[in-house]
Amino acid sequence: MSDKDGARDSLDPTQGVVTPVASPMGRRSFLRKALATGVGAAALGAGLLEVRDRHQETLVGTKLASSTQPATTHQWCMVIDLRYCDGCKACTAACQRAHYLHEDQTWIRVFDMTDASGNKYHMPRPCMMCEDPACVPVCPVSANFRTEEGLTLVDQSRCIGTRICMNACPYQARYFNWTDPVPAPRQPFPQEPSWPVPQVKGTVGKCIFCAAMLPMGKLPECVSGCPMGVLYLGDLSTDVAVNSFGNTIKLSQFLYENDAVKFKESYGTHPRVFYILGHGQNLESDKEG
């Protein structure tokens, strides 16, 4: 077993790990309980404000700490720990299989990055699920919208394919369906914005955090498909996040203790994807390729 594998099997308790769960079925059950019985919105607000004050930057937008947010509403986010990503692209493959996507439709794409010292590393990029998404207001037919749980989705029954939203997104997170979709067998969910399978030719598609699966206590396909436990599904309302190993972290503590950052935060979109660096990377200045 490599040092990296050992590290992922038993995370450092000082990094906020709460409970490991071994089996996939146990993990699903635990996810449902963890995301439903967290610290609550009031405690979340205090904890995340403390993170912001101590870290001297807004890791989480102030809207998330607002008392106007219903305590029972999930507020989804994602944490990506770059320290353990080996660039295998299993997350991309799992997403494409589940959503019957063409090979060029990478809703979560793994970029090969080079830092200022010439060192290589890998950076998965899903949709950033921005709190102030640039893609939403520019759509002339209101096909883009944001749910109460913080997910930005596309209503392909309304989309007319202007691709204005693609130009507006600073994260290259959207793809145009130029060709007929991959044939999909009977699906577990109806075709709707929370499960746009199959895709619709002439419309825009994007990562959806597997929105239809979340109420069932299931992790997004990219998260459960990562063999290194790099990706965590998080819930800002319960201050909890879970990865494919069933490792469960106290979200605000994990973000603070590991100096989490957001990608292209200067754009003012307030993304809900947090990155853990750990190897001296600078996501704003490092180069792709």
Instruction: Specify the CATH number for the domain of residue 30.
Output: 3.30.70.20
> Would 223 be classed as within a structural domain?
yes
> Would 152 be classed as within a structural domain?
no
The model carries a pTM of 0.81
> Would 259 be classed as within a structural domain?
yes
Residue 248 pairs with which residues in a beta bridge? 19, 242
Q: How confident is the model at residue 65 (pLDDT cuts 50, 70, 90)?
A: very low
Burial 61-92 (b: 16+ CB within 10 A, else e): beebbeeebeeeebbbbbbbbbbbbeeebbbb
> Would 4 be classed as within a structural domain?
no
Please tell me the total count of domains within the chain: 1
Q: Which residue range forms the structural domain that includes residue 221?
A: 16-131+208-280
> Would 202 be classed as within a structural domain?
no
Mean pLDDT value of segment 191-217: 97
> Would 234 be classed as within a structural domain?
yes
> Would 181 be classed as within a structural domain?
no
The more confidently predicted of residues 39 and 263 is 263
Q: How confident is the model at residue 257 (pLDDT cuts 50, 70, 90)?
A: very high
> Would 197 be classed as within a structural domain?
no
Mean pLDDT value of segment 206-213: 98
Residue-averaged pLDDT of the chain: 83
Residue 71 confidence (pLDDT) above 80: no
Give me the phi and psi of 48, to 5 degrees please: -75, -30
> What confidence score (pLDDT) does residue 73 get?
85
